[in-house]
Amino acid sequence: MQALVKAKSEPGLWLQSAPVPEIGPDDVLIKINKTGICGTDIHIWNWDEWAQKTVPVPLITGHEFAGEIVEIGRRVEGLELGQRCSGEGHLIGKTSRQSRAGKFHLDPATRGIGVNEPGAFAQYLRLPAFNVVPLPDDIPDEIGAILDPLGNAVHTALSFDLVGEDVLVTGAGPIGIMAAAVARHVGARHVVITDVNQARLDLAARVADVIPVNVTTQDLAQVESDLKMKEGFDVGLEMSGNQQALDQMVEALVMGGHIALLGIPPGKSPVDWSRIVFKAITIKGVYGREIFETWYKMIAMLQNGLDISGVITHRFPVAEFEQGFAAMKSGQSGKVVLDWT
């Protein structure tokens, strides 16, 4: 089969032939139809410090996918050949306290496909049947291929009650835009999204009914006053990993406000703790997706009118993967989807 492989310890990915994976008794084999390119894949392409210490070489990359089941292990129940599916790319252990308590997304032994284990940028993927998420007929493959990042957005956005609340999203990358769309969908009042990149703010406004704010040219306090918000935002969803964005969020929040942090800062990041204490702010770190509650909720919301399809801005056949990665790296794109059929 063809696969996008981190074949050498240097920047780049290589389209190579690789053996079709053999499945075990609890696995399925998935024929991949579409995959999404993630920021993580860009780190792996660039071969930055994180990638060098995390990713074994050679490794088939990629973790955002949709496809169909073409082989089923002998102990697997409840799945059928031909079933369209996406799946959770976090492979969890079963022995930790959290895992045994059913909090699978908090298992410290988690390993990621396309990061630690062979991934989905390939014609075929082996996946534990446990990780498979069947796709209803009304969810197309290209949406199935971005359920992983949509799941990050949904997990973050549903961390706190948003009904009737004023929500600030910092960072209009694909995940921030989808989180803003989710906040709107579940009944937030004002949803303001900030970025320093106007193209991304324009995309956010096209995808969802949100108020884009370019913090390089606009004053967030003025926006709040224009919206007649007296005391600040109730909930902040941090989706940039940028220190200034987090500082700005803490300032813009109401007393007793809530922050869900998904964005990953590049290194240690100083925090004005006294400001957080005196504003009595609750902060929650968010990792991955709740397995499988986030998947359940996001599929239900998609079936109930949540439309994030506009966040996909580029589509390429896999042979043109270099253009796909270039589009992602430009910082001007939304999600980029590769077609493997």
**Residues at the site binding Zn ion, with contacts judged by CB under 5 A:** 38, 64, 148
Closer to ligand NAD at the Cβ: 46 or 197? 197
Binding flag, residue 116, ligand NAD (CB under 6 A) = no
Q: How many binding residues for ligand NAD (CB under 6 A)?
A: 27
- Do 325 and 40 contact (CB within 8 A), yes or no? no
Pick the piece of the chain touching ligand NAD (CB under 6 A) from 53-61, 68-76, 191-199, 307-315.
Answer: 191-199
**Shortest CB 240 distance to ligand NAD, Å:** 3
Residue from the set 171, 212, 236, 324 that interacts with ligand NAD by CB under 6 A = 171
Residues 6+ apart with CB under 8 A from 132: 28, 30, 69, 79, 83, 85, 87
Site string for ligand NAD, 263-292 (x = CB under 6 A): xx---------------------xxx----
175 binds, among Zn ion, ligand NAD, none (CB under 5 to 8 A by kind): ligand NAD
Determine whether 217 is an active site residue: no
- DSSP letter at 14 equals E
Distances (CA, A) of 14 to 4, 44, 179: 5, 12, 32
Residues 6+ apart with CB under 8 A from 151: 288, 289, 294, 295, 298
Pick the piece of the chain touching ligand NAD (CB under 6 A) from 45-53, 96-104, 171-179, 226-234.
Answer: 171-179
CA distance 232 to 249: 10
Determine whether 216 is an active site residue: no
Query: Which regions of 98-152 does DSSP assign to beta strands (E)?
Result: 111-112, 124-128, 132-134
Binding flag, residue 32, ligand NAD (CB under 6 A) = no
**Per annotation, catalytic residue among 35, 40, 110, 294:** 40
Rounded to a whole number, what is the distance in angstroms from the first to the last CA of the chain? 12
Largest CA distance in the chain: 62
CA distance 324 to 314: 7
Pick the piece of the chain touching ligand NAD (CB under 6 A) from 52-60, 103-111, 118-126, 195-203.
Answer: 195-203
79 binds, among Zn ion, ligand NAD, none (CB under 5 to 8 A by kind): none
Residue whose beta carbon is closest to ligand NAD: 173
Q: Quick one: three-class SS letters along 308-340?
A: CHHHEEEEEEHHHHHHHHHHHHCCCCCEEEEEC
Residue ranges binding ligand NAD (CB under 6 A)? 39, 152, 170-176, 194-197, 200, 215, 239-242, 244-245, 262-264, 286-288
